[in-house]
């Protein structure tokens, strides 16, 4: 199957989705686990919402929004009940 034209769109919460030229909108969480003829959806490159690094959609966690590293930070801070902003240090 030929790869259709698409755009990355965001809803009001900033969650992204893939909009195909026929108007179909596929949430990132679904697009990232696509396989078979739609496998290209999981290989769309997107930036992590927190650190801005570019990843394949399928590497952006369960929701297709953040990389595993940033997800881990969010999870840690939730667990600690700390509302402070996490700083990301690059090595
Ligand atoms: Zn990240």
Name the token pair of 25: 């909108």
Q: What is the H or E stretch that residue 72 is in? A: helix 68-80
Q: How far is the CA of 49 from the centre of ligand 1 (A)?
A: 6
pLDDT of residue 51: 92
Q: Is 71 helix (H, G, I), strand (E, B) or coil?
A: helix
- Give the predicted TM-score (pTM) of the model: 0.74
Q: How far is the CA of 45 from the centre of ligand 1 (A)?
A: 13
pLDDT of residue 2: 63
Percent helix, strand, coil in the chain (nearest 5)? Answer: 30, 20, 50
pLDDT of residue 74: 75
Residues of the chain short of pLDDT 50, as ranges, are 86
Q: How far is the CA of 36 from the centre of ligand 1 (A)?
A: 27
- CB neighbours (10 Å) of residue 6? 19
Q: How far is the CA of 22 from the centre of ligand 1 (A)?
A: 31
pLDDT of residue 81: 60
pLDDT of residue 11: 87
């Amino acid at each position: 199957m030929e790869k259709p034209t698409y755009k990355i769109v965001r809803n009001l919460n900033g969650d992204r989705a893939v909009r195909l030229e026929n108007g179909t909108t596929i949430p990132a969480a679904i697009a990232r686990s696509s396989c078979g003829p739609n496998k290209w959806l999981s290989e769309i490159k997107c930036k992590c919402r927190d650190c801005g690094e570019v990843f394949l959609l399928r590497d952006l966690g369960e929701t297709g929004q953040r990389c595993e590293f940033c997800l881990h930070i969010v999870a840690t801070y939730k667990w600690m009940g700390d509302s402070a902003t996490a700083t990301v240090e690059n090595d």
